[in-house]
Amino acid sequence: MTTLTIHAVGTPAPAGSKRAFVVNGRARMVESSSKVRPWWQAVAGATQEALPDGWTPIAGPVRVSIEFFLARPRYHYGTGKNASRLKPTAPSYADKKPDTDKLERTVLDALKAAGVYLDDCQVVDLHGVKRYADAATGARIAVTPLTGPTPTVSVVEEPTRAEGVLF
């Protein structure tokens, strides 16, 4: 099986705090942010469009790589007649909020709901990067099943406490 590539357009939103309330004696959890649901739906919709006919959810371990494209803040641009020009000092990577891991959580949940894999616990290799968008905001997502023989790992002699390495 090859890599499944998904292009989701929208405003990436982090899965974060949830609110709990009781309905008919049962606890219900909902996202605190109203921005999460539209992003989740955009990812799930783009995923459904990208899935080939007859797709069955991946049952084994998977690698997921996500490249987020976030809106640039105004201060990345010049002023006056240069308002549409990106400053030469403007960064490429978004090292501000939202947190990468919370953005990833939303995407992983949407991929599961869309039927890419059975459960997000199958994601054994996860890579996320946040960049500033020069065009549309969204994400480029790559899902690769990890099948075949497991790579051989050489066993290294276990360090002692005296060596100061405790992992």
For residues 7-17, average pLDDT: 89
Per-residue model confidence as pLDDT tens digits over 79-124: 999 999 999 999 999 999 999 999 999 999 999 999 999 999 999 9
- So what's the pLDDT on residue 71? 95
On the 0-12 / 13-18 / 19+ scale of CB atoms within 10 A, 40 is buried
Structure tokens of 61? 């371990």
Q: What is the pTM of this model?
A: 0.80
Residue 130 backbone phi and psi in degrees, to 5: -110, 125
Task: Using pLDDT thresholds of 50, 70 and 90, give the confidence band for residue 153.
Answer: low
Q: Is 50 helix (H, G, I), strand (E, B) or coil?
A: helix
Distance CA 91, CA 129 (A): 14
Q: Could you give the domains of the chain?
A: 4-163 (3.30.1330.70)
The amino acid occupying position 16 is G
For residues 129-135, average pLDDT: 94
Task: Using pLDDT thresholds of 50, 70 and 90, give the confidence band for residue 166.
Answer: very low
Distance CA 11, CA 40 (A): 10
Per-residue model confidence as pLDDT tens digits over 32-85: 567 899 999 999 999 999 999 999 999 999 999 999 999 999 999 999 999 999
The amino acid occupying position 107 is V
- So what's the pLDDT on residue 112? 97
Lowest mean pLDDT among 13-17, 34-38, 90-94, 143-147: 13-17
Distance CA 62, CA 53 (A): 20
